Amino acid sequence: MPVNDPVGDMLTRLRNASRARHDKVVIPHSKLKLEIIKVLKDEGYIGDFVVHEQTVQNKRTVFPEISVQLKYGPDRAPAITGIRRVSKPGLRRYAAVREIPQVLGGLGISILSTSRGILVDSEARKQKVGGELLCTVY
């Protein structure tokens, strides 16, 4: 079944798996999703990720997937307490450098799609570049 918002689907899978205290979650692969996962790993919200291919036996079809190892703190408290899609296919949200929001007063991160790639809000401010505000994580 086709998904209208693949990034939103990925964020929902991460949110649901984290709340259910799963060890890992499998996400369909795309370049944009992979870059967002890399940012989440660099910022310490997930443990690790592996890109692998799943083949369907009868059809000989290959579907690349991303397996994400979720990260938990003491008492199995999830590292991702909240993850929210900001710019949606029906309503795109763009932010200039001075308009990039701080999440929870700087405790969380915003992930932006810029002309220099997928960046965290602090890195976008440092490089003085704005872009599409994809999601916020805290």
Domain count along the chain:
1
Task: Tell me whether residue 102 is in a domain.
Answer: yes
What's the whole-number average pLDDT of the chain?
92
Residue 40 lies in a domain: yes
| 32 is a domain residue | yes
Q: Per the domain annotation, does 84 fall within a domain? A: yes
pLDDT tens sequence across 73-131: 999 899 999 999 999 999 999 999 999 999 998 899 999 999 999 999 999 999 999 99
Domain assignment of residue 78, yes or no:
yes
Cα–Cα distances in Å, from 64 out to 1, 10, 57, 69, 125?
16, 14, 15, 17, 33
Residue-range definition of the domain harbouring residue 65: 6-137
Q: Is residue 1 part of a domain?
A: no
Sign of CA dihedral 14, 43, 65, 78: negative
Is 114 part of any domain? Answer: yes
Q: How far apart are CA 138 and CA 123, in angstroms?
A: 17
Q: For the whole model, what pTM was predicted?
A: 0.90
> What CATH number is given to the structural domain containing 12?
3.30.1490.10
